[in-house]
Amino acid sequence: MNEQPPLIRWPVAGESRVPYSVFSREAFDEDEQRRIFLGKHWHFVCLEVEVAAPGDFKTTHIGKAPVVISRDFDGEIYGFENRCAHRGALICLENAGNARQFQCVYHAWSYDLQGTLTGVAFEKGVRGLGGMPPSFCKEEHGPRKLRVALLAGLVFASFADDVDPLDEYLGPEIVAKIERVLFKPLEVIGRFTQVLPNNWKLYAENARDTYHASLLHLFFTTFNITRLSQGGGVVISPSGGHHASASIKAPEEERGTDTAYAEQRSNQDGFRLHAPQMLDSEDEIGDGIRVQILTVFPGFVLQQIHNCIAVRQIVPTGAASMDLHWTLVGFADDSPRLREMRLMQANLVGPAGYVSMEDGAVGNFVQRGIAAAADHESVIELGGLESKSQDFRATEASIRGFWKAYRTAMEL
């Protein structure tokens, strides 16, 4: 008898309580892959600059599904499932490169840059013997094709033909926040992958959580990179699934009168950096926003921390494991000084980053903490019970927004 995904009952109306069982049950993980990652949602897959020339390709994942993103010689970008139509092997084994076609290493079935099956080894047999039956038609076989959309140098893809257009899926406010950061041609300046021992939704929560940033990340508060006492707010899409939070340097910081953290454990005044130039920054956008963290449901994060710009891609690998792909970017016309500044500030993020190292551990702290608490739930009430935009950041509204979108997608 096949185990069915368990019925999850939300403890209360709305999203201010989340049952811990959604983070741990294996059977539920399979339903997410079908409803969310193969469903009517857009997923970040790469940057346009990573497939800039005809023949360029990159392999990645949408959920657990391996995919290939390529630029054909017609100049367009295409995406398809990285699965041979013959026996299911990966079509492309490389992470990236340039090719005129793809050929499965197992039985040499061939595909063009759009993922269309173009060749079958020994299709006519050998010496008149064997081969495929006369009824076999290559056009009827092939991996699943993806719908592809571009925005500000980002490439999104979806398995669903009837997904809403990307700009409608995101909404005008989120589109504007993306275009605010990625306003010129991009250049990749670094990349790495972080293996995290926690459910992917715990990281999705974390990226939307403005509350923890200046408490868990002592570096943030100590060196005034971001504090909740700074100006800013949270923009949340009507669906709840997408958000952008921003912090703006407050006047009291200049006067040294910010006392909001006087009694918090994260207030570590007196510390100094051996290389203080790491915190040098330039307001290249010109709006005074020092930090913007933006998410797109289900698994995309765009960060701007001073001049450190990066995109993050959440890739679930199991009910209690995920990969986090980081791509650090600059602009193609960066001055040497600005490029050096971005690279110095890159020390803030990633597995050993001064302000994100803790995120790699805290998700597992939760995963371990809830191991025997499937019948209990988290409390998400800071800033109220709604999941709407707010002009302050002492709130968990964007986390509630994630669960609003999640419940809609999962029909819970």
Residues 281 and 380 in one domain: yes
Co-location of 188 and 300 in the same domain? yes
In a domain? residue 14 = no
Quickly state the pLDDT bin for 298 (edges 50, 70, 90): very high
Which of the four pLDDT bands, split at 50, 70 and 90, describes residue 276? Answer: confident
DSSP string over 130-189: ----TT--GGG--PPEEEEEEETTEEEEES-TTPPPHHHHH-HHHHHHHHHH--S-EEEE
Q: How confident is the model at residue 5 (pLDDT cuts 50, 70, 90)?
A: very low
Residues 92 and 216 in one domain: no
Q: Mean per-residue pLDDT for 191-213?
A: 92
* Structural domain for 110, as ranges: 43-150
pLDDT tops 60 at residue 390: yes
Quick one: pLDDT at residue 230? 67
Dihedrals φ, ψ of 188, to 5°? -75, 130
State mean pLDDT over 158-162: 97
Count how many domains the chain has. Answer: 2
Angle, in degrees to the nearest 10, between helices 200-207 and 359-369: 130
Whether residue 267 sits in one domain with residue 309: yes
Instruction: Establish if 162 belongs to a structural domain.
Output: no
* Domain co-membership, 142 together with 230: no
Is 25 inside a domain boundary? no
Residue 15 lies in a domain: no
Rounded to the nearest integer, the mean pLDDT of the chain is: 89
Q: Looking at the structure, tell me whether residues 271 and 403 fall in a common domain.
A: yes
User: For residue 231, what are its two tokens?
Assistant: 């100006």
Residue 341 half-sphere exposure toward CB, CA atoms < 13 A: 18
Using pLDDT thresholds of 50, 70 and 90, give the confidence band for residue 255.
very low
Band (260; pLDDT cuts 50, 70, 90)? low
- Whether 163 is covered by a domain: the verdict is no
CATH for 371: 3.90.380.10
Q: Does one domain contain both 146 and 177?
A: no
Mean pLDDT, residues 383-387 taken together? 91
Do both 110 and 180 map to the same domain? no
**Beta carbons within 8 Å of 399's beta carbon, 6+ residues apart:** 15, 205, 208, 209, 380
Q: Which residues pair with 308 in a beta bridge?
A: 305
Q: Nearest 5°: CA angle at 299, between 66 and 14?
A: 135
**Residues 132 and 199 grouped into a single domain:** no
Distance (Å, whole) CA 63 – CA 356? 23
Structure tokens, 269 = 């005044």
For residue 215, pLDDT beyond 80: no
Based on the fold, state whether residues 48 and 184 are members of the same structural domain.
Answer: no
* Residues 91-105, mean pLDDT to the nearest whole number: 97
Tokens of 311: 């995109």
- 159 within some domain: no
Nearest to 74 by CA among 21, 39, 114: 114
Amino acid at 352: A
- Claim to verify: residue 181 and residue 321 sit in the same structural domain: yes
Q: What are 64-83's pLDDT values in tens digits? A: 999 999 999 999 999 999 99
- Going from the C-alpha of 7 to that of each of 23, 51, 200, 411, the distances in angstroms are 14, 42, 20, 11
pLDDT tens digits for 166-201?
999 999 999 999 999 999 999 999 999 999 999 999
CA 206/CA 170 separation, integer angstroms: 20
Boundary (domain end) residue, out of 150, 185, 215? 150
Is 31's pLDDT higher than 50? yes
Which domain CATH number covers 76?
2.102.10.10
| DSSP label of 126 | B
pLDDT band at 254 (very low <50, low <70, confident <90, very high): very low
Q: Is 184 contained in some domain?
A: yes
Q: Which of 4-8, 12-16, 213-217 has the lowest mean pLDDT?
A: 4-8
Q: How far is it, in rounded angstroms, from Cα 159 to Cα 169? A: 15
Q: How many Å apart are CA 412 and CA 410, to the nearest integer? A: 5
Together in a domain, 274 and 392: yes
